[in-house]
Structure 1
Amino acid sequence: MTDITSQQPPPATGRPVPPPLPPPSAASSTREDLRAVMAARRDLGPEYEDALVDSFLDKLDVEIAARIRNEVAAQLRHQPPGPVVKQRDGAVGVAMGSLALGIPLTGIAVGNANLPGLLLSWGGIIAVNFAYAVSRRSQR
């Protein structure tokens, strides 16, 4: 055990920082780690208590996350693959809507403005479909 008189005082600003604990071996358990933290608290004194607790909790968080990742990975390995979910494509709806609106617009445009009306109505339909195609391409 270390001598308390030979230790450096905690820094004047912020929380005291305990000396780094040695890295745990693969066989160490959480219980042994907690015992080590408690022994360090006895050696270092109460001014390092918060830092020791935070250090232990951080290590515990890492261990819990690793256990969860391992369990999820094990469960995913044992699950049969699910059905392939096909994403709905809105392009068919836009194309069908364009054709459905294009037929009456053609009749109205030709009846009122002849060739310029026809070109304007189908130019608008083409512009809408082009804008939709460009927006889909940028999403990929």
Structure 2
Amino acid sequence: MEARDPELRRELDATLQARGELGPEYEPALIDSFLEKVEQRLSGTQDQRTRRHLAEQQLAAARSAARPAKPTGAGGFGERFGFGVVSLVLAIPLSAIGVANAGIEGLVVAWLGIFGVNAVHAARAWPWARGRPRNVSDWEG
């Protein structure tokens, strides 16, 4: 409802004019009648806002349901490539620490750890690891 509703303004003018014609003894009835009209207008406006809000929520829910869900597990090529690059960059200091502390055995342990972490990450990207059939490609959904 706008701050200056012309219909309510006409109702108020009519109520004030009727008060002038009928006298002060009818004033409580006229005020009650005008307030009922204001309440009806407010109720109608609130109902309209509520319906609009519900329609917007339903539209948003329908739009989100129409979007395909992203598969869980490892991401696309970019995530896997980034993970591989980071693991190779971190392999240099890990190798140096392993060799400095335990010799060749430390180097082997460090690289086995790097290999294990990368193998687990790569296994998450396999289709059968996500519960999908093996013959479904990533292009098909």
Instruction: Give the TM-score band, short-chain normalised.
Output: 0.3 to 0.5
| Bigger-Rg structure (1/2) | 2
| TM-score (norm: length of structure 2) | 0.36
Per residue, is there more helix in 1 or in 2?
2
